[in-house]
Chain A
Amino acid sequence: MNEQQRLYLVQARSDWRVHRRLKSEPVCHRLHYSQMCTEKLAKAFFWRSPGAGNLGHAAFVKFIRAIATNQNVAKKLGWNDARSFREWIKDVSDLAYELQALAPSLANDGPNPEYPWPRNGPQHAPVEHDFAAWRRIQTANGRHLWIMIDKVLENFDEWF
């Protein structure tokens, strides 16, 4: 692991720890930290090569695509069957798009976990909003995504 990867990894791990401490707080805060954590985790992965500087917020979806061609990680996550793994990754990819779209700069002046919107005449606050992304994360696939993030953060050095 190079220094750029290590820096993103330690920050992602820290974001994840904060995310876990927010269980009793409004959902927006957990979404905010999970969005930031997943973006940094993805950047830790891609910083192995120099082209990672322009990934922006759209890193996590790309990371999911990369994981889809990693048989070793699939096995470590408990997927011995390539077809089932592919189906799961497909669903998780959709969730990843939703998580990534929560970044205020990608939210198109709509729901995001940080700032009231719309910007020029706020009508909604994140703490009062019922996030559709959060409801989808409560599904079985969403819970498995959480488990995957947990395991990848813990085993990053060994798996990649």
Chain B
Amino acid sequence: MPGIEKLVPTLASLPRREYSDLIRQVDEQRRKAAEFDSADDWPSNAASRDEFAVWIARRHFAIDKGIVRILHLPTGAPVDEVRLLEVNALAQLPEDAPVEAVDFMPDIEGVSYSLYVADVTPRQLEEILGGRLALPDGWQLAGHQELSAAER
């Protein structure tokens, strides 16, 4: 596949009609591919906490190009709470400030889990893994699960 730097001028030089047809074809193919990805649907009310965490992670990976890793930290969390540590290589985060989690308030029919997310930079994750930077109050790294992008 040609690199983006070659692709952009090639596409830019296409006649308007040809370009519109191409975009339609590409969009159709992307949608077909997405139909095979069940994570595109809203999670059901039968989803376990771990399944819900996986769904959230896949969605976050898919929409935010800055996220490079997501860790699920279930140890010590209330049974209806998902805690995610999201490593973001693009977001400008205050590196010297304490790591804070915020309530993402998901609102999905039949799903009652709460979701707290703490964003960190790759350097902050290294500090956390090395025990030099504290997680938000009550959060524990022990037993963490690394969640993957699956489809981006």
* Chain A positions near chain B (C-beta within 8 angstroms): 45-46, 48-49, 51-58, 61-62, 64-66, 68-73, 82-83, 86-87, 89-90, 93-94, 97, 100-101, 105-106, 160
Interface centre among B60, B94, B100, B101 (most CB of A within 10 A): B100
Q: Across the interface, do B101 and A51 meet the contact criterion of CB distance under 8 Å?
A: yes
Interface centre among B104, B118, B119, B136 (most CB of A within 10 A): B104
Take A51-B100, A51-B102 as given contacts and tell me if A56 and B93 are in contact as well, using a CB distance cutoff of 8 Å: yes
Q: Across the interface, do A90 and B63 meet the contact criterion of CB distance under 8 Å?
A: yes
Take A83-B40, A93-B64 as given contacts and tell me if A56 and B98 are in contact as well, using a CB distance cutoff of 8 Å: no
Residues on the B chain within 8 Å of A97, using CB: 65-66, 90
Q: Across the interface, do A93 and B92 meet the contact criterion of CB distance under 8 Å?
A: no
Residues on the A chain within 8 Å of B66, using CB: 61, 97
Tell me if A's interface is mostly helix, strand, loop or mixed: helix
* Chain B positions near chain A (C-beta within 8 angstroms): 30-31, 34-35, 40-42, 56, 59-60, 62-66, 90-94, 97-98, 100-109, 115-119, 136
Residues on the A chain within 8 Å of B93, using CB: 56, 58
A107 to chain B, nearest CB (A): 10
CB-nearest residue of chain A to B59: A68
Take A83-B31, A83-B34 as given contacts and tell me if A69 and B59 are in contact as well, using a CB distance cutoff of 8 Å: yes
